[in-house]
Structure 1
Amino acid sequence: MRGGSKSSLPPSEQAGPRVMIVAGEASGDLHGANLARAIQRERPEIRLSGMGGDELRAAGVEVLFDAARIAVVGVVEVLHHLGDVLRARKILITEMKERRPALLILIDFPDFNLLLAAQARKLGIPVLYYISPQVWAWRSGRVKKIGRLADRVATILPFEQAFYRRHGYRVDYVGHPLLDTVTTTMSRDGFLEKYDLPGDHPLIGIIPGSRRKEISTLLPIFLSAAERYQAESSHPCTFLLPRASTVDQELLLEHGAAQAKNSLDLRIIDSDRYDLMAACDGAIAASGTVTLELAILETPTVVAYRLAPLTYRLGRLLIRHLRFFSLVNLIAEQEIIPELLQDEVTPGRLCRELQAVVDSEQRRKSMIADFQRLKELLGSSGASSKTAALVFEMLDAAGR
Structure 2
Amino acid sequence: MIIAGEASGDLHAARLVEGVKQQQPDTRFFGIGGSAMRRAGVEILVESSELAVVGLIEVFAHRKVIFGALNRMREILRSDPPDLLVLTDYPEFNLRLARTAKECGVKVLYYISPQIWAWRQGRVKKIQQLVDKMAVVFPFEVDFYAHHGVPVTYVGHPLAHEVKPSADRDTLLQEFGMDPERPVVGLFPGSRRSEIKRLLPIIIYTAQLLQQQRPELQFVLPVASTLSPDLIRQNMPEHELDIHYIEHRPYDTMQACDAIVTVSGTVTLEIALIGTPMVVINRVAWLTYHIVRRMLKIDHLALCNIVARRRIVAELIQNDATPSAIARELERLLDDEDYRKEIKQGLEEVRQKLEDDSHITDIAAVTSDMLNQD
TM range (shorter): over 0.9
Q: How many residues in Structure 1 have an aligned counterpart in Structure 2?
A: 374
In 2, the alpha carbon distance for the partners of 1:77 and 1:382 equals 39
List structure 1 segments (4+ residues) > 6 angstroms apart after TM superposition.
Answer: 382-385
3-state secondary structure, aligned to 2:362: helix
Residue 257 (structure 2) aligned to one of 280, 290, 307? 280
Counterpart residue number, 2:197: 216
In the alignment, structure 1 segments of 5+ residues that lack a partner are 1-19
1:381, CA displacement in angstroms? 5.8
Residue 248 (structure 1) aligned to one of 228, 245, 262? 228
3-state secondary structure, aligned to 2:126: helix
CA contact (8 A) 1:206 1:222 kept: yes
Counterpart residue number, 1:139: 120
3-state secondary structure, aligned to 2:344: helix
Bigger drift between 247-256 and 97-106 goes to 247-256
The answer to whether structure 1 residue 356 and structure 2 residue 356 are counterparts is no
1:144, CA displacement in angstroms? 2.0
The answer to whether structure 1 residue 29 and structure 2 residue 10 are counterparts is yes
Map residues 139-178 of structure 1 onto 2, 5 A cutoff: 139-178=120-159
1:157, CA displacement in angstroms? 0.1
In 2, the alpha carbon distance for the partners of 1:286 and 1:99 equals 39
Residue 368 (structure 1) aligned to one of 337, 344, 358? 344
1:230, CA displacement in angstroms? 2.3
Counterpart residue number, 2:318: 342
In 1, the alpha carbon distance for the partners of 2:149 and 2:186 equals 43
Q: 1:328 to 1:28 in 2, by over 3 A?
A: same
1:170, CA displacement in angstroms? 3.4
In 2, the alpha carbon distance for the partners of 1:285 and 1:335 equals 16
3-state secondary structure, aligned to 1:154: strand
1:317, CA displacement in angstroms? 1.9
What's the C-alpha RMSD, in Å, of the aligned pairs? Answer: 1.8
In 1, the alpha carbon distance for the partners of 2:79 and 2:360 equals 28
In 2, the alpha carbon distance for the partners of 1:383 and 1:249 equals 41
Counterpart residue number, 2:49: 68
Counterpart residue number, 1:44: 25
Counterpart residue number, 1:329: 305
In 2, the alpha carbon distance for the partners of 1:90 and 1:384 equals 35
CA contact (8 A) 1:177 1:383 kept: no
1:342, CA displacement in angstroms? 0.7
Map residues 65-214 of structure 1 onto 2, 5 A cutoff: 65-214=46-195
**Amino acid in structure 1 at the alignment position of 2:192:** R
CA deviation map 1:129-176 (0-9, x unaligned):
110111111111111211221111100000100111222333100100
**Amino acid in structure 2 at the alignment position of 1:252:** I
3-state secondary structure, aligned to 1:366: helix
1:107, CA displacement in angstroms? 0.6
Bigger drift between 57-66 and 224-233 goes to 224-233
CA deviation map 1:270-325 (0-9, x unaligned):
13221110121000001111111101100100000010111111111211x32211
The answer to whether structure 1 residue 317 and structure 2 residue 291 are counterparts is no
3-state secondary structure, aligned to 2:165: coil
TM-score normalized by the length of structure 1: 0.90
3-state secondary structure, aligned to 2:262: strand
In 1, the alpha carbon distance for the partners of 2:12 and 2:99 equals 23
In 2, the alpha carbon distance for the partners of 1:58 and 1:116 equals 24
3-state secondary structure, aligned to 2:69: helix
Counterpart residue number, 1:388: 364
Counterpart residue number, 2:246: 269
Bigger drift between 383-392 and 133-142 goes to 383-392
**Amino acid in structure 2 at the alignment position of 1:108:** D
In 1, the alpha carbon distance for the partners of 2:222 and 2:161 equals 21
**Amino acid in structure 2 at the alignment position of 1:307:** V
In 2, the alpha carbon distance for the partners of 1:356 and 1:189 equals 22
Identity of aligned residues (%): 41
CA deviation map 1:331-379 (0-9, x unaligned):
2111101001111111110011111122111111111111111122224
**Amino acid in structure 1 at the alignment position of 2:116:** V
**Amino acid in structure 1 at the alignment position of 2:247:** D
Counterpart residue number, 2:208: 227
1:250, CA displacement in angstroms? 2.0
1:384, CA displacement in angstroms? 11
1:199, CA displacement in angstroms? 1.3
Rg (Cα) greater in structure: 1
In 2, the alpha carbon distance for the partners of 1:256 and 1:396 equals 49
CA deviation map 1:5-24 (0-9, x unaligned):
xxxxxxxxxxxxxxx11111
In the alignment, structure 2 segments of 5+ residues that lack a partner are none
In 2, the alpha carbon distance for the partners of 1:65 and 1:104 equals 16
Counterpart residue number, 1:308: 285
3-state secondary structure, aligned to 1:47: coil
1:385, CA displacement in angstroms? 7.8
3-state secondary structure, aligned to 2:208: helix
In 2, the alpha carbon distance for the partners of 1:183 and 1:313 equals 37
The answer to whether structure 1 residue 290 and structure 2 residue 267 are counterparts is yes
CA contact (8 A) 1:157 1:176 kept: yes
TM-score normalized by the length of structure 2: 0.96
CA contact (8 A) 1:174 1:382 kept: no
In 2, the alpha carbon distance for the partners of 1:61 and 1:385 equals 23
CA deviation map 1:66-101 (0-9, x unaligned):
121121111111111111122111111121122221
